[in-house]
């Protein structure tokens, strides 16, 4: 792990053309923001960067126009492909992967220096060709089938999805030039689940932050002197495993102990109606803003008093530090979160850098109350968190990616010589 204050000096590695395939890029979810910031940092080191991505048909025009509001480098060319619905998106990704693989092989092989792909589903069409595979880095961010809702558990669709995910991950592990993962724990889950271990080490690429954007938001942010609420915040998709229902139940236990308590959610998802129902049942003041453009979301996020993430324990949550935690550290927002294994990998200390909680209402409520009532503890966590965030600067992450790519390219050249 990098030390918090360490910076990596830039090399002179500049790519001519980079091709990226990602499931989403121009939206406002955590996945979109992650990929957009990573690829934007990669584009700084490239003459031209092509991004193939997807949008649902009903959102296609809105998503296409959204680029105008985003600070995307001008050398990024976005190829946006419409898909009708979620199940067909998976099929479309596989088909597009093969089409783009053939087009790249026949027309652009000598012009593309690096191919970056997120998820095995998008990589298959490139990995069947050895000449493309040797230029390809594939990021496998999670054990995909572990995030299937429990209601899918015994269905034929869930069974088929698990089989496809297993097969595609295994092919990616055996054929890609380099594998990227969010953490070493993520990689250990992957090789154990898929029953295959590569000879080389994976590239560790955790979610990161655009440091210049964080600094811009800090400069623009004005202290709201008229603020009347104690804001307990969450940002991201309202999925069952995020534990936002646990957070709402915890606030029900606190509403008589903390005056003017409010749940602030920047995000949306299938759990929204359930969260609203809990808040109404216990008369909790709440504000669900929906997904916002990233910079606007950061401005709202910076004003909450604490970020609380009582996420349920899955392979993906145990192995991945979410972008919202890194952004909270960078913005000076203290974090309460489930004690996942990945935090221990990064030596994130309880009551020093973060406050750990169990994903159940009573423990969450106890820790929220403790943080709010202890200004010294709050100040220490904010200070240490801002130091930690520096190592997750996307410019540093991309530098490691390019150095690794240069190493494997040089190794290949030496073997040929």
Rounded to whole angstroms, the Cα distance separating 55 from 48 reads 22
**pLDDT at residue 251 tops 60:** yes
Cα 317 to Cα 121, 209, 320, distances in angstroms: 21, 19, 5
DSSP string covering 319-360: H---HHHHHHHHHT--EEEE--HHHHHTTPPBTTTBEEE-SS
Specify the pLDDT at position 2.
36
Specify the pLDDT at position 95.
94
Percent of the chain, pLDDT > 70? 91
The pLDDT confidence band at residue 350, using thresholds 50, 70 and 90, is very high
Which of 183, 63, 188, 43 has its CA nearest to residue 116? Answer: 43
Which of 10, 26, 17 has its CA nearest to residue 291? Answer: 26
DSSP string covering 163-191: HHHHHHHHHHHHH-SEEEES-HHHHHHHH
Contact 138, 120 (CB under 8 A): yes
Contact 98, 129 (CB under 8 A): no
Specify the pLDDT at position 154.
60
DSSP 8-state code for residue 201: P
Average pLDDT over residues 108-113: 87
Region of poorest pLDDT, from 102-106, 156-160, 175-179, 264-268: 156-160
Cα 132 to Cα 53, 106, 213, 221, distances in angstroms: 19, 11, 34, 46
Rounded to whole angstroms, the Cα distance separating 42 from 26 reads 16
**pLDDT at residue 119 tops 60:** yes
DSSP 8-state code for residue 9: P
DSSP 8-state code for residue 281: H
Phi, psi of 180 (to 5 degrees): -115, 140
Rounded to whole angstroms, the Cα distance separating 339 from 317 reads 10
Helix (H, G, I), strand (E, B) or coil at 363: helix
Average pLDDT over residues 189-218: 92
Specify the pLDDT at position 58.
83
Specify the pLDDT at position 67.
76
The model carries a pTM of: 0.86
Rounded to whole angstroms, the Cα distance separating 345 from 347 reads 5
Domains 15-208+395-416 and 211-392 share a fold: yes
Specify the pLDDT at position 224.
55
Average pLDDT over residues 256-282: 94
Specify the pLDDT at position 200.
92
Query: Domain 15-208+395-416 sits in which CATH superfamily?
Result: Glycogen Phosphorylase B; (3.40.50.2000)
Average pLDDT over residues 365-379: 96
Provide the residue ranges of all domains of the chain, joining segments of one domain with +.
15-208+395-416, 211-392
Rounded to whole angstroms, the Cα distance separating 359 from 311 reads 6
Q: Which CATH number fits domain 211-392: 3.10.310.30, 3.40.50.20, 2.170.16.10, 3.40.50.2000?
A: 3.40.50.2000
By residue count, the chain amounts to 417
Percent of the chain, pLDDT > 90? 70
The pLDDT confidence band at residue 409, using thresholds 50, 70 and 90, is low
Burial class (CB in 10 A: 0-12, 13-18, 19+), 114: buried
Specify the pLDDT at position 349.
96
Mean of the per-residue pLDDT values of the chain: 88
**pLDDT at residue 143 tops 80:** yes
């Amino acid at each position: 792990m990098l030390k918090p204050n360490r910076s990596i000096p830039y090399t002179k590695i500049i790519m001519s053309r980079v091709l990226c395939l990602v499931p989403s890029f121009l939206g406002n979810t955590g996945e979109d923001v992650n990929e957009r910031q990573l690829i934007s940092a990669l584009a700084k080191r490239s003459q031209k960067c092509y991004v193939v991505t997807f949008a649902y048909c009903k959102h296609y025009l809105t998503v296409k126009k959204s680029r105008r509001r985003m600070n995307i480098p001008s050398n990024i060319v976005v190829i946006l492909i419409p898909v009708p619905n979620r199940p067909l998106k998976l099929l479309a990704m596989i088909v597009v992967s093969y089409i783009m693989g053939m087009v790249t092989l026949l027309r652009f092989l000598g012009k593309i220096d690096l191919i970056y792909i997120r998820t095995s589903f998008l990589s298959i069409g490139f990995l069947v060709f050895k000449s493309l595979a040797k230029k390809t880095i594939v990021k496998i961010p999670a054990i995909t089938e572990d995030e299937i809702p429990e209601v899918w558990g015994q269905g034929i669709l869930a069974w088929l999805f698990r089989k496809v995910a297993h097969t595609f991950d295994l092919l990616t592990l055996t054929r890609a030039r380099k594998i990227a993962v969010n953490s070493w724990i993520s990689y250990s889950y992957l090789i154990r689940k898929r029953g295959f271990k590569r000879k080389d080490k994976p590239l560790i690429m955790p979610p990161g932050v655009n440091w210049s954007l964080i600094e811009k938001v800090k400069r623009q942010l004005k202290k709201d002197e008229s603020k009347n609420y104690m804001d307990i915040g969450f940002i991201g998709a309202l999925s069952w495993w995020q534990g936002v229902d646990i957070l709402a139940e915890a606030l029900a236990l606190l509403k008589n102990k903390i005056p003017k308590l409010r749940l602030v959610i920047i995000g949306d998802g299938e759990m929204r109606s359930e969260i609203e129902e809990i808040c109404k049942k216990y008369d909790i003041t709440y504000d669900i803003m929906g997904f916002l453009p990233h910079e606007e979301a950061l401005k709202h996020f910076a004003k909450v008093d604490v970020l609380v993430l009582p996420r349920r324990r899955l392979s993906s949550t145990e192995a991945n530090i979410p972008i919202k935690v890194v952004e909270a550290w960078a913005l000076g927002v203290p974090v309460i979160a489930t004690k996942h294994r990945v935090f221990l990998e990064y030596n994130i200390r309880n009551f020093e850098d973060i406050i750990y909680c169990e994903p159940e209402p009573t423990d969450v409520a106890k820790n929220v109350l403790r943080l709010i009532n202890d200004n010294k503890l709050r100040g220490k966590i904010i200070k240490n968190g801002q130091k930690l965030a520096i190592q997750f600067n996307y410019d540093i992450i991309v530098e490691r990616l390019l150095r690794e790519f240069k190493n494997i390219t040089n190794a290949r050249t030496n073997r040929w010589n």
